[in-house]
Amino acid sequence: MTNMSQAPATEKKGVSDLLGFKIFGMPLPLYAFALITLLLSHFYNALPTDIVGGFAIMFIIGAIFGEIGKRLPIFNKYIGGAPVMIFLVAAYFVYAGIFTQKEIDAISNVMDKSNFLNLFIAVLITGAILSVNRRLLLKSLLGYIPTILMGIVGASIFGIAIGLVFGIPVDRIMMLYVLPIMGGGNGAGAVPCRRFTTPSPVVLAKSITQPLSLF
């Protein structure tokens, strides 16, 4: 009798936990509704190319793959976790043609035409500088400068060496891999460096997926 009474309680608790699960701060039912809406707009090619459509697809896709990257063993601790997972998946979606041209345009309008990336970088850098103690910052500059220069030289040498193993030309290694990583990763590095080489987001996606295709 006790076991029978415990079963409904356990089942009710499981449903409650599932409904209470959050993806990037959103309750699961609300996120599921947003995801279904996005999938319908994808299949009917109806996603608006303005800032609303751009933020919608970036948030919904980024939230789910961010959760996966944050929870995936080994990947979350040693490869980069949520940000790298989102970056790789988005690049593959462009490279494989999963994103429609309207969806690519929607994201490009937010990141390029509205200059949201510039605002993000300004807030990021300003916040990072203002959060550091002024005296500590001034004292650490003398130690940071030689270390940074040595890091740039070392990263360039090893980056070129690894890139040559994958058959990537030296200029592409520097512009699409080494400099973006040293310049701040994706937002402050990869996207601005891409503007010096080509306006096409497909090339940026290929630069990420090319080494993976050899495995």
The answer to whether 155 and 178 have CB atoms below 8 angstroms apart is: yes
The kind and range of the H/E element at 26 are: strand 26-27
**pLDDT truncated to tens, each residue of the chain (215 aa)?**
455 555 565 666 666 767 778 888 888 889 999 999 999 999 999 999 888 999 999 999 999 999 999 999 988 888 888 888 998 999 999 999 999 999 999 998 888 787 787 787 788 778 877 887 778 777 777 777 888 888 888 888 988 998 898 888 888 888 777 777 776 655 555 555 655 555 455 555 555 555 545 44
Give every CB contact of residue 206 below 8 A, 6+ residues apart in sequence: 95
Other CB atoms within a 10 A radius of the CB of residue 31 amount to 20
**pLDDT confidence of residue 214:** 47
Q: What is the dihedral of CA 207, 212, 213, 215, to 10 degrees?
A: 160
Q: How far apart are CA 60 and CA 184, in angstroms?
A: 24
CB half-sphere exposure, 177, CA atoms < 13 A: 24
Amino acid identity at 33: F
Domain boundaries, the chain: 1-114, 131-215
**pLDDT confidence of residue 81:** 87
Token couple for 56? 């919608």
| Predicted TM-score (pTM) of this structure | 0.59
The runs of H, that is alpha helices, within the chain are: 2-20, 28-43, 51-71, 81-95, 101-108, 116-130, 134-165, 170-173, 179-183, 191-197, 201-209
